[in-house]
């Protein structure tokens, strides 16, 4: 930090990220599985990618949060999307490259990306 202005910019950036993690009643929730198995499989970069994408698009009704074990360790990283009045959608084998498509198609256009879901996984 070289100036007070830089510190203020950093504070504003972090404040926006914290705001994305606050629960909003009747809003959309993106929940990333962050138990040890999820973290080992790469859930942390996925969580950061969701935070960045939601922030970049200015989606104020979307909460990005984390949870512990979802119970399907072999399918990690796992992301669950909860939209008001709809069934939960569970995305598996997530990575940073899939995030932008999920936000664009599912979160914004209300069309889940079927090939990334738990139902599409071939064992």
Span 82-117, pLDDT tens digits: 999 899 999 999 999 999 999 999 999 999 999 999
Secondary-structure percent of the chain, ordered helix, strand, coil, rounded to 5: 50, 15, 35
| Residue scoring higher pLDDT (78 or 61) | 78
Coil vs helix vs strand at 85: coil
Q: Where are the domains of the chain?
A: 21-120
94 — phi, psi (to 5°)?
-75, 155
Q: Considering the chain, what percentage of its residues have pLDDT values greater than 70?
A: 86
Looking at the structure, give the CATH architecture of the domain made up of residues 21-120.
Answer: 3-Layer(aba) Sandwich (3.40)
């Amino acid at each position: 930090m070289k100036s007070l202005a830089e510190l203020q910019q950093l504070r504003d950036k972090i404040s926006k990220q914290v705001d994305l993690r606050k629960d909003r009643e009747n809003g959309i929730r993106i929940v990333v599985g962050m138990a040890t198995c999820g973290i080992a499989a790469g859930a942390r970069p996925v969580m950061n990618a969701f935070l960045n994408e939601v922030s970049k698009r200015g989606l104020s009704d979307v909460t990005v949060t984390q949870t512990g074990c979802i119970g399907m360790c072999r399918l990690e990283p796992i992301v669950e999307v909860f939209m008001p009045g709809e069934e939960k959608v569970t995305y598996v084998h997530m990575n940073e490259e899939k995030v932008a498509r999920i936000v664009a198609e599912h979160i914004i256009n209300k069309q889940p990306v079927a090939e990334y879901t738990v139902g599409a996984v071939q064992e």
